[in-house]
Amino acid sequence: MSKAIGIVGIGSYVPDRIVTNYDLEKIMDTSNDWILERTGIERRRVADKDTASSDLGVKAAEAALADAGLSAEDIDLIITATLSPDMIFPSTACVIQEKIGAVNAAAFDLSAACTGFIYAITTAKAFIASGDAKKVLVIGTEAISKILNWEDRKTAVLFGDGAGAVVLAETEEGKGIITSVLGSDGTGNQLLYIPAGGTRMPASYETVDRKGHTIVMDGSEVFKFASRKMVEVSEEAVNKSGLTLQDIDCFLPHQANLRIIKNAAKRMGIPLEKVYINLHEYGNMSAASIPVALDEAVKNGHIKKGDIILMVGFGAGLTWGATVLEWNR
């Protein structure tokens, strides 16, 4: 019988610079109370002008490799989930591969926005299960501050920069990743997007002047979608795993909005002490959100060996996904 496939190393990194809600009050028409009441966010990390997504991803990747007791040469596949790549091509994964010296690894980016990490670890597990890879480095990394319109309080207050990474491999201890459920609904592709910069609307003086290269979001529609899908995909994944919601030791959701998280936990009957929340510190880090939270939860003892974890994400696309795993370290 094949071994379980699980996380054998984990790491994260966030920039040093902290931008609080009070800082944002000085540059846009908003307030700490307005942001806090609607989102639960108090502060976020912002990368400096010379730091790109790959730079953040390298730090997280190196931490995950060290935690796994592996060298970069041991990795045979790198999957990077990001909505803020260094450039359209080549992939940010290839840039990271060069920087860490993972000379034996294939590398590609995966674009599923805030659900990217769930999509990426599900893909990584499939590569390992098929025998096409043995050790896979999955990185969620974002420098979203570079693609925000800092005059738009509907989006600029929500996001932050950071990176998280895990190493996946076969393991003899525990069950590892038990199951995943992924989904998408392309009819919502313009509820959260960047209009310009691709082949539909190539860069021009006009697109730059109109801030067409920054995030646009229909907040109310995304809120309704996320509130519904977080519960639906969580329940589907747990049912598929053969477990129940009462078996979940840690509910680790995408860190986008405190109201969405609390409402989802209440509807599923998961007590708040089992829910890991850090969005007040970092805001929405998109594909980096879940791995950064996972790393923190492990390091501060919120997650222990043998715990059953439910991770769930939702984002642009529209996309959603959930993974149930047993923490085997």
Q: Tell me: the pLDDT tens digits for 188-241? A: 999 999 999 999 999 999 999 999 999 999 999 999 999 999 999 999 999 999
Same domain, 140 and 27: yes
How many CA atoms, within 13 angstroms, populate the side-chain half-sphere of residue 20? 4
User: What pLDDT does residue 292 have?
Assistant: 98
153 and 255 part of one domain: no
Distances (CA, A) of 28 to 21, 102, 194, 223, 226: 10, 43, 21, 22, 26
Residues 318 and 242 both lie in one domain: yes
- Both tokens assigned to 324: 């149930």
Position 76 scores a pLDDT of 97
Q: In whole angstroms, give the CA distance from residue 141 to residue 100.
A: 15
Supply the DSSP symbol for 251.
Answer: E
**φ, ψ of residue 58 in degrees (nearest 5):** -60, -45
pLDDT digits (tens, 9 = 90+) for 34-77: 999 999 999 999 999 999 999 999 999 999 999 999 999 999 99
For residue 218, the domain's CATH number is 3.40.47.10
Answer whether 0.75 is exceeded by the pTM: yes
What is the overall mean pLDDT for the chain? 97
- Residue 326 above 70 pLDDT? yes
As for how many domains the chain has, the answer is 2
Residues 251 and 304 in one domain: yes
Joined together, the tokens standing for residue 321 give 């996904």
What is each CA distance from 6 to 126, 258, 285, 327, 328, in whole angstroms? Answer: 12, 29, 23, 8, 7
Query: Domain check: are 216 and 260 in the same one?
Result: yes
What's residue 2's pLDDT?
A: 61
Q: What is the distance between the alpha carbons of residues 316 and 258, in angstroms, rounded to a whole number?
A: 18
Residue 76 to residue 78: CA distance in whole angstroms: 7
Q: Which domain holds residue 129?
A: 4-174
Q: In this structure, are 182 and 162 located in the same domain?
A: no
Same domain, 161 and 203: no
Average pLDDT score over residue span 127-151: 97
3-state secondary structure of 235: helix
* pLDDT of amino acid 49: 96
**Residue 1's pLDDT band (boundaries 50, 70, 90)?**
very low
The yes-or-no verdict on residue 94 having pLDDT over 80 is yes
Instruction: Say if residue 143 is in the same domain as residue 54.
Output: yes
Q: Which of 174, 198, 226 is the last residue of a domain?
A: 174
C-beta separation of 161 from 144 below 8 A: yes
Last residue of a domain, one of 157, 174, 191: 174
> Domain check: are 66 and 167 in the same one?
yes
Looking at the structure, tell me whether residues 164 and 234 fall in a common domain. no
Choose the final residue of a domain: 127, 150, 174. Answer: 174
What the block records as the tokens of 235 is 């329940």
Residues 18-50, buried b or exposed e (16+ Cβ, 10 A)? ebebeebeeeeebebeebeeebbbbbbbbbeee
**Residues labelled as active-site residues:** 114, 254, 284
**Contact criterion met (CB below 8 Å) for 148 and 155:** yes
Do 297 and 220 fall within a single domain? yes
* Residues 216 and 195 reside in one and the same domain: yes
